[in-house]
Amino acid sequence: MVVVMQERATDEQVQQVIAQLTQMGFDVHRSTGALRTVLGAVGGNRQFDTRLLEVFEGVQEVVRITEPYKLAGRTFKPENTVVSVGDVRIGGDEVIVMAGPCSAESEEQVEASAAAVRRAGAKVLRGGAFKPRSSPYSFQGMGEEGLRLLKSAADRHNLKLVSEVMDLSQIELISKYADILQVGARNMQNFTLLRELGRSRTPILLKRGISATIEEWLLSAEYILAGGNMNVVLCERGIRTFESYTRNTLDISAIPVIHKLSHLPIVADPSHGSGRRDMVPSMARAAVAAGADGLIIEVHTDPDHALSDGAQSLYPNQFDGLMAELRIIAPAIGRAICLEPVTRRGWGV
Ligand code: PEP
Ligand code: MN
C-alpha cells in the first residue's frame, strides 16, 4: 500500500502517518520526491479500511498496490531512481558504460584492460574474482588477489569497480574493494544473499536470472529494497530460450518494460546476452536505442587466451569502435554519454 501525502504536508503530518502505519504492523519506506512525500507500507494487515488513513491531516490518497512487488514499482516511487556511485550516476541522463574482463587473471591483464576501457570512455571497470562457472573444473577466479588487482587498476584509471559476490560469506570482503556488488544470474533467487545485501548500502547490480520472468526479477530486487538498500541497478543479461545459435537471448524488450513498471535503472549486458563477440556491438547499440541506462561489456586484451568468456569478449579496438557509435546513438534519443575518448579531451558529458 502507498500513502501519497499532499504537496503541502508538513513533516509532522508525515511522521503521524508513519507512526500510525508502524502501529498497524507495517514496515514503512519513505520516498521524498520533488513535489510530495510517498510512504510505502509493506507487510501488516492487508484487509484494513484505507479510510482510516485517508482522514489523517496531510494525506492526499491511499492506494493499494496490486503488483506483488511494492518498493520496486512506480506506484511507490514515480520518479526514476538514480544510483550514485561516487560521481558516476546510473539512471540519470548519461548512459554509463561498464567494461573489462570477465575475470581478473593477472596483474598485466587487469591493468591493460582497465587502461583500454577507460581510454575508450568507460566509467566503471568490470571484473570477477569469484566466478560462478557451470563446471567445477573451470577457472574459478583469483579470489582476494583478483580483487586487489582490480581495485588498484580501477583507482589508477579513475574508474569505479563492479565485481560479483557469490554468497553471504563474501559480502564483507568484496565490499572492501568493489563500489558495486554484482549478483549473478545464477544467484538472482538466492534470497538469503539478497536479504543480506538489503542491509548493505553499497549499490547492487542485480542480473536477471537465466529463466526468470520480469516479475520474479523485480521481486528479487524487492528483497534488497525491503532491507533498506535502495541502490539497486537491474541488469538484463539474456535469458534461455529455445534458440541455440546464441548463448542466451538478450531480451531488449525488458528495457522498456522495466522502465514502465519500475523506477530502478536498467543496464544491458550484450556479452552474456549473445555469447558471441561478433554480435556484441549490434546488441549494445540496440540496448542503448531501447533506453538502457547503461551497458556492461566484456573486453579483453587477448580474448583468444582468456580464462573465461573469451568468445564473447571484445578486443579493445572493437570496444573503441562501439563507443564511437554509441556517441551517435545516445544523443539521438536524448541521452548523454562520455563524449570523447579521455586521452583527447578529458571527460565531456
Ligand atoms: C559475469 O558477469 O561474468 C557473469 C558470470 O554473469 P552472469 O551472472 O550474467 O552469467
Ligand atoms: Mn563472463
Average pLDDT over residues 166-176: 97
Tell me if 29 CB under 6 Å of ligand 1. Answer: no
> What's 249's DSSP letter?
B
How is the beta sheet containing 59-63 ordered, strand by strand? 26-32, 37-43, 2-5, 59-63
Q: Classify each residue of 184-216 as buried b or exposed e, where b means 16 or more C-beta atoms within 10 Å of its C-beta.
A: bbebbbbeebbebbbebebbbbbbbbeebebee
Q: Which residue has the higher pLDDT, 317 or 46?
A: 317
Q: Tell me how far apart the alpha carbons of residues 114 and 301 are, in angstroms, rounded to a whole number.
A: 10
CATH architecture of 83-345: Alpha-Beta Barrel (3.20)
Neighbouring C-beta atoms of residue 334, cutoff 10 Å: 8
What's the CATH class of domain 2-63? alpha beta
Confidence of residue 339 (pLDDT cuts 50, 70, 90): confident
Nearest residue by C-alpha to atom 9 in ligand 1: 185
Residue located via cell numbers 500513502:
3
State percent of the chain over pLDDT 90. 91
Nearest ligand 1 atom to the CA of 187 is 8
pLDDT score, position 34: 85
- Pick the range with the lowest mean pLDDT from 36-40, 144-148, 217-221, 257-261: 36-40
Q: What pLDDT, in 10s, does the model give residues 81-123?
A: 999 999 999 999 999 999 999 999 999 999 999 999 999 999 9
For the cut 60, the answer to whether the pLDDT of residue 40 exceeds it is: yes
**pLDDT (0 to 100) of residue 43:** 85
Residue nearest to ligand 1 atom 10, measured at CA: 185
What residue segments make up the domains of the chain, in order of their start?
Answer: 2-63, 83-345
Asked if residue 130 has pLDDT above 50, the reply is yes
Separation CA 271–CA 99 (nearest Å): 10
Provide mean pLDDT across the span 63-90: 95
